[in-house]
Structure 1
């Protein structure tokens, strides 16, 4: 019985220490990046993260033209205006708010549908960037486009060419 009590006490101490250490980290909502508290000013400034600029909805320009950079041209040619708009919204909201690896789906007015997944935010030359995969499915055929998109000064997303 005493051994069980000691084992339970050890477990409680380990659990408490784990909770204490976990309390020192925080997850920046919307960025999927963890930062750690520090008293060292050099380390603290290196760990500082910024919250992404949030725009409420994709612009008409993004919906009508810029989305074409995010999907395969042969798929874009087969989409209706509504489907292009749905694809643009899914792409935009996945980049803006999407959890890493979670699917953002869209459905067109015919047999077209799609899904977008994004990676974590990374800083590239001071800009928020994310890798993405946008899959368009039309009558069972899959058109997969991958790339990196970065947020530009006006808050919109632009595909970067490497």
Structure 2
């Protein structure tokens, strides 16, 4: 089983909520954790420090969509890493989460999120998403996500009636 020395990465960015007459800047963070290798979390309103924060590269500023409040009261959506990758080159997702690139080679992706409380359309930088995905792929390569799951450890703990060995 492969071991992953660094457990995750974060890219802070600004998404732009597309409104009927204007855009609203929304601070957000893309968060990847190798212990959940198929998923990327989008934390809206994220302005605090994170254990996976990037400090060296200057990046500032079908999905598993779900609108979940995080421990700070912000909103967090869980997306598939594959959906983000596919959305860089063409329309991806269906239902609650959809992603597609702007036409004409612009550095823009559109992210549409739907929840029972409403729906939102955001613009975000394709370059930020691409760089973030490349960094996540340095942690867990595409096609090797299952190796990072530690299924054997978790199954053993369940069978022994113990708690989650990863501490989650």
TM-score (norm 2): 0.30
Larger relative contact order (CA 8 Å, sep ≥ 6): 2
- For the pair shown, the structure with the greater C-alpha radius of gyration is 1
Greater fraction helix: 1
